[in-house]
Chain A
Amino acid sequence: MASSLTIENVDAAYGSVRVLEGVSMTVNAGETVVLLGTNGNGKSTLMKCVMGIVRPKSGRIVVEIDGEKHDLAGMATEQIVDLGIALVPEGRRLFPRLTVEENLLLGAFRRKARAEINTNLAFCFECFPRLAERKSQLAGSMSGGEQQMLALARALMLAPRLLLIDEPSVGLAPVLVSRTIEKIKELKDRYKLTVLMAEQNFPQALRIADRGYVIVHGQIAFEGRSVDELNNNDLIKRFYLGL
């Protein structure tokens, strides 16, 4: 079940605006790695590069799944999804005019995922009983916290080998942020998921992180090999706490 992600020297830009400069990082099998940074530092862009939604200008992104290496450069997004890489997009991005159940079924749009659709749906409803209660409700009519749960569950419909979560805390009340983080923790503990999570809510992110990176202006400014290293870091104090 081993799957890992290696990002090497990735540069990315929107037109002439450089967003990522020589970003390198790794996520090993079974790890939860957090990518910390405030708004506009390139977290989402890096996520989109992995998914093939934004094309890096240079550098390599390689995923190893069951001992087989796949270079993601030049692969279409749907092929990357086929490898078992799922993204929970920033701001949830549900299909608001479809029902909860339809949203989940669409998480398994790929043929590969459709083979296991019933098992995965049952699994999602088991993890998120709330969604089972609301399955015929329109996704757009649920609360923010429930929508975030649905966004997570939709990604799980792929039975992903590598789960990318982009800022799960965006637009949620603090108590819901805490609950969302707990849910992610529960999922990764129970199912040994490999997770890369971008987040700017530093204390919440560290609750589930094994290690992490700090990204500043499109460059990795600091690599924390453990939670402790991230916790006692001057750079982070300066950027996050204003000390």
Chain B
Amino acid sequence: MKSSTFALVCVVVAALVFAALRWYGNEYLFFAGYVVLQFIVLATAWNILGGYTGYVNFGSAAFFAVGAYSSIFFHKTFPLPIPVLIVIGGVFAGLVGLGMGYLTLRLRGAFFAIGTLALAVVLQTIITNWTYLGGSRGAYVIRPDEIALVGPYVQYLFLLMLGLAVIAIMVARGIEHSQLGYGFATIRDDELAAEASGVPTLKLKLIATTISGALMGMAGAPFPYYLGYVQPGTVFGLEYAVNSIAMPMIGGTTSWVGPLIGAILLASLQQWATVKFSSELGVLFVGVLLVVFVVLAPKGIVGLVEGWRRGKV
């Protein structure tokens, strides 16, 4: 499918989802749907680095938090509309991604993962001690109830996240079918051979960390407006790091479809479990599912379906 056709399909599907939710008329669905969409963006972003190039990032929460806190910073100094804040959050998180890349990409495998985890801890410490941004007490954002054209504010946020999810998926798919995507695949399969073939590996890895980080930051930027209150413990939560790894793993890491399926499945399940039981149980579900998939279907749902189709044809 051509990129333009694919973009059209994405937009139509997104519009249908929004129309259906509005028709159903339950405000809570927008509230829960926002979280699902946010995880679609996070999982897709994680997969650009983790799935395509094979570098496992444990610091997703840090990028998400950079986006969220850049919004808080501007909310306090110079209030801007959220779409602009999303772009700014993306730029900041992208820069953090680039910096992280420079510092850690000489490490491989588990060492890289530990490096990214350390980055999250360092950033959390900085934010916790930065009183202007609320420090450990957290920061409040008073948001309006309604907004022109859309109506309820939650629907506006939902719409923004929907747009962001469409953009993230299009970026991921675009990369997959490009020279860049093949370059990433060579790094994942064999970095030495990639270099011998003339793939500029360091440059490509930096591109991957930057794009991946930027998308995560964009997902985090509207978050303070969604919750109204942000504290370091929330945005640096384990939930984000674990989910952005678990979702692509369960969905399948080799294509853009995997994180999408994984995020919809897991995030919906968690929302359901949170309402029915408790949010802790939601995280437990993720853990159990991750173990089951790693053991039984290491290539995720996409891998399962592909294997099943190959067996049939």
User: Would you call A40 an interface residue if the criterion is a C-beta within 8 Å of the partner chain's C-beta atoms?
Assistant: no
**Inter-subunit contact B195/A77 (CB<8 Å):** yes
With known contacts A96-B189, A98-B189, A106-B186, A89–B198 Cβ distance under 8 A = no
> For this complex, into which size category does the number of interface residues on chain A fall?
20 to 34
Tally of contact residues, B, Cβ under 8 A: 17
- A110 & B198 in contact (Cβ 8 Å cutoff): yes
Q: Are A109 and B183 in contact, CB atoms less than 8 angstroms apart?
A: yes
What sequence of 0s and 1s flags, for each residue 159-180 of chain A, a beta carbon within 8 Å of any chain B beta carbon? 0000000000000000000000
**B145 interface residue (CB < 8 Å to A):** no
A106 and B182 contact, Cβ closer than 8 Å, known pairs A94-B190, A95-B189, A97-B189: yes
In the assembled complex, how far is the CB of residue A151 from the closest CB belonging to chain B, in whole angstroms?
8
Chain B, 157-202, CB within 8 A of any chain A CB: 179, 182-183, 185-186, 188-190, 192-200
> Which residues of A60-116 are within 8 A (CB) of B?
76-78, 81-82, 86-89, 93-98, 102, 105-107, 109-110, 113
B187 to chain A, nearest CB (A): 10
| CB–CB B193/A113 < 8 A | no
* C-alpha spacing A76/B185, complex, angstroms: 20
A93 to chain B, nearest CB (A): 4
Asked if A122 is an interface residue, CB under 8 A from chain B, the answer is: no
Q: Does A43 have its Cβ within 8 Å of any Cβ on chain B?
A: no
Contacting residues, chain A, for B182 (C-beta < 8 A): 98, 102, 105-106, 109
Residue of B nearest to A114 (CB): B179
A97–B185 CB distance below 8 A:
yes
Of A78, A107, A113, the most chain B CB neighbours within 10 A belong to: A78
Rounded to whole Å, the gap between the CB of A148 and the closest CB of chain B is: 13
Q: Would A93 and B198 be within 8 Å (CB), given that A98-B185, A102-B182, A106-B186 are in contact?
A: no
Closest to A87 in B: B196
Closest B residue to A95 by beta carbon equals: B189
Q: Which residues of A contact B190 (CB under 8 A)?
A: 93-96
Contacting pair A89 B192 (CB below 8 A): yes
Closest to B188 in A: A97
Task: Check B200 against A76 for contact (C-beta < 8 Å).
Answer: yes
B198 in contact with A77 (CB, 8 Å):
yes
In the complex, are the beta carbons of A154 and B198 less than 8 A apart? no
Q: Is A51 an interface residue (CB 8 A)?
A: yes
Q: Which residues of A contact B200 (CB under 8 A)?
A: 76-78
Q: Contact at B189–A51, with CB atoms within 8 Å?
A: no
Contact partner of B196 (CB less than 8 A), chosen from A86, A98, A113, is: A86
A221 sits at the interface (CB 8 A): no
- B contact residues around A187 at 8 Å (CB): none
- Of B179, B193, B200, the most chain A CB neighbours within 10 A belong to B193
For this complex, 21 residue pairs linking A to B, each with C-beta atoms less than 8 Å apart, are A51-B195, A77-B200, A78-B195, A81-B198, A87-B196, A93-B193, A93-B196, A95-B190, A96-B190, A97-B185, A98-B186, A98-B189, A102-B182, A105-B182, A106-B182, A106-B199, A107-B197, A109-B179, A109-B182, A110-B198, A154-B197
Task: Give 5 new A-B contacts, CB below 8 A, not counting A53-B196, A78-B195, A154-B197.
Answer: A51-B195, A77-B195, A78-B200, A93-B190, A93-B196
